Every structure is written in structure tokens, then in C-alpha cells.
Amino acid sequence: MTLKFYNTLTRKKQVFKPLKSKQVGIYSCGPTVYNYAHIGNLRTYIFNDLLKKSLEFLGYKVTHVMNITDVDDKTITASKKQGVSLKKFTREYEKIFFNDLKSLNIKKPTHIPRATESIKDMIKLIQVLLKKGYAYKSDDGIYFSIKKFKSYGKLAKLQKIKKSKSRIANDSYDKENAKDFALWKFHTQEDGDNFWKAGFGKGRPGWHIECSAMSMKKLGETFDIHTGASDLIFPHHTNEIAQSQAATGKQFVKYWLHAGFLTMKQGKMSKSLGNILRLKDLRQKGFSALDYRYLTLTTHYREQLRFSLENLNASKIALQRLKNIILTIKNDKKINNKYLAQFTEALKDDLNTPKALAILWKLVRDPDAEGKLKAIKKIDEIFSLDLLKNEKTKIPQKIKKLVDERERARKNKDWKTADSIREKINEFGFQVDDTGRGAKISKK
């Protein structure tokens, strides 16, 4: 099978053809660092990581860019409330965010531009839009005229929505309000020290222009993949397309990939609904970040992930069981290409992780399969569940040797030797149990 992704732009699963063969550029909307990331936010970053690692697994060289939104309405308001500088305030949340990513085994993107360090690029882009007549100056800022951009709203399927004549200064607004949006907000008292000089008037950028400027700077005017949570389709991604394509006259992004929500009994997990859970909360309840990563793999990235502590507990048990079985598998130095091929096919089908996960389980449970361990190692390059690590029951080399010796004795029906080796193993603080799938070693 050829690699296929569901493209929000066309609402179809499409064959993936990068602009340059075997090289892929991906831009992911990063965090707005004004608060903690909740596990619903983190699901999108796990998806980004799976996407990138899958492409690398398939032989592509990936340049992955993820921005940090460290200036916008939310960050300014929240930093002022705490009475600290915007920089100090946002850097703290940025640090916590990257710690969360690390504990989820998420690889850092190739480039992580901060909005505050990319203001010049945003100003340049706004100047082009003004020059081309897509932007206009108002009393409180520079606005993008959605009427001027003919295909406005294609990504969000907004064609039938009446384009309002009014303007909106807020970065976030709902679907019923397709309005001219702010590219640049002129300085007000509320913004305090947070402004930059520009030819068209001092102020600060709107949220949407940030991503257009930072993505094109690093990946070029047209690039392969843009990702984000599905609630960003409108207005954020819709506005990114409008700004970028109006400025360059070229297609901005070829494939738009969106991750589904995480829902709780009370609905979507969101800060505004006040039903958020952080990784820290999960840890306090006895779950690891990787238990959560496992849970996310059980649902396709585009689907809603129904979260409950029961679901998470089932994932925790499944992951531990998986690791326990893997612990008993011996390295025969071979690699099982049959299962790896099936696993690869599942990934190529729009990253079908539930299917890929089922193939992993089939592999570990197949009594006749050879080359299991090396295949599992390859699979874990993508799943990143630390399947071959087992901190609590790390088995020293000398114990593994003894277990092998005992196995040989058992095969020769030399029960006396087998028993004496078992005693030796016990003396070292380990115990060996004979299961249908071979010897299982654990700490006593």
C-alpha cells in the first residue's frame, strides 16, 4: 500500500506525495504558554510525534517545526494578572510543557521558533498584505479583509456562510463569525510593555499571523503537512491559509491533518469547561505518562478519544502485560519481517494505530514467530512505550545466562541440574516461572 493521509482540505484519504521526494516539511501549531497543557492538548502532540516517527520509519527525512505562542491576548492578560513580565511568565509554562513532552517520549521538533523572536517576519508579511490590498488599517490595528480573498473558508467549508462586514480583534472567535480579523493590534495601555515598533504603527501581532510567518520562514512558501487539533480548523487555520496564500499567490499547505478531541463524560476536555486533567494529576492517581500514551494509540488520531480513569487503567494493565511478555522473549538475532510488514501497512493507512497495536499483540503472542525482539524494537521506535525497558524488573546478564542454562537442562530432561540452577537464581533474588510462552523471570 502507498502511504495515505486523510486531508481535511479535500475531506478525503489521499496518497501522500511530498514536494521533494523523501523529504517532508511539517508544521505543528505549538502551545500558547499561558497555562498548563492538559492531557487533551497533549494527545495532539503525541499524534505529531507518531506522524513524524512514522514518516522517518518509512524512510523520509523530516523537518518538523513547532512554534511557541508566547505573545497573544491570553498570555498578556495572564502575565499581567500575576504581575510578572511576559517573558518570565511564558518561559515557566514553556519549561513545564517540554517536561510533559519528555515524559511522553515525544521527540523535540527540529525547530521551535518563539513568536516574540519572529516579530520581524510577521511585520514583513503584514507589509506585503497591505501592499497587495488584502489588509487595511483601522483605528485599533491592521485587519485582513476576508472579502478580498476569494476562497476564504475552504478548509472549514465556510463557502455558504455570509462573510460579515464587521471586524474582530479577538484571536479566538466562533464559526458563526467569519469576520475581518486582526493581523496587528495597535498598542493600548493594557498591553503595557508588550509592543514592537512597525512602519504601520507600534503594537503586537495577532495570533494567526504568527503561525503563517513562522511556518513559511522555516519551511518555505508551500510545504507538505500542517497539523493541529481539530478546533483550530476555524478560525486559526482558515486564517493562516488566507494570509499566506494572499501574500504569496501560492498554495500554502498540501496536507492538513487534524487530531480529534479528548472527551470526558461531561463533554470535550477544555480549560473553559474546567474539566481538565494534567499528566501530574494522572501520576497522583498512579498512572505513568506512557500509560496515557498507550491509551491514545488505542483510538485512531482523528476519532474522539473517550477518556475515563477506567480506560486509562485498562491501558496501564495492558502495557504492563505487554512488557511482561516481552521480558520473557529471547533475542534470536533475527527480525520478523512478516509482522513488521503488516505493522507498516497499518501505519501507511492514515496512521491506523489501533490496528498497528493489534499486530504488535499478535506478534508477541505468536508462539511460532521468530525474530520477535528485533521487530518489537523497530515498532517501539514509533510507539515509544519503552517496551524493552523494565526498570522494576531489570534482569542482570548473569541471571539471563542462568535461565538459558536451565532451559538447556530442561530440554535435555536433566531435571536435577534444572532445579539446582533454579535455586541459584533464587539466591540472587530472582524467580523463574515456566509459562506456556517460556520462562518468565521476575524479582522476588
Residues near Zn ion (CB under 5 A) are 29, 211
Q: How far is the CB of 233 from Zn ion (least distance, A)?
A: 11
Q: Provide the b/e sequence for 394-407 (b: ≥16 CB within 10 Å).
A: eeeeebeebbeebb
227: Cβ contacts below 8 Å, ≥ 6 apart: 26, 27, 28, 29, 44, 47, 48, 51, 256, 257, 258, 259
CA 37, 349, 23, 53 torsion-angle sign: positive
CB of 44 to Zn ion, least distance (A): 11
The distance of closest approach from Cβ of residue 49 to Zn ion in the complex, given in angstroms and rounded to an integer, is 17
- Which alpha helices (DSSP H) does 249-303 contain, by range? 279-284, 289-297
Quote the least distance from Cβ 67 to Zn ion, whole Å.
6
Place of cell 481535511: 8
* Beta carbon of residue 240, minimum distance to Zn ion (angstroms, whole number): 6
Q: Residue 327 in contact with residue 390, Cβ under 8 Å?
A: yes
C-beta closer to Zn ion: residue 179 or 208: 208
- DSSP codes joined into one string, 19-60: SBTTEEEEEE---BTTSPPPHHHHHHHHHHHHHHHHHHHTT-
User: Would you say 155 or 211 has its CB closer to Zn ion?
Assistant: 211
Cα three-residue angle 10-30-3, rounded to 5 degrees: 40
Smallest distance, Zn ion to C-beta of residue 29, A = 3
CB of 28 to Zn ion, least distance (A): 8
User: What span, in angstroms and rounded, lies between the C-alpha atoms of 41 and 287?
Assistant: 18
Name residue 155's amino acid.
L
Between 55 and 211, whose beta carbon lies closer to Zn ion? 211
CB of 236 to Zn ion, least distance (A): 5
Choose between 236 and 293: whose C-beta lies nearer to Zn ion: 236
If the CB atoms of residues 29 and 375 are measured against Zn ion, the closer one turns out to be 29
3-class secondary structure, 182: strand
C-alpha cell at 308: 475515563
Separation CA 226–CA 184 (nearest Å): 23
Chain centre to alpha carbon of residue 23? 19
Q: Using alpha carbons only, how large is the chain's radius of gyration in Å?
A: 26
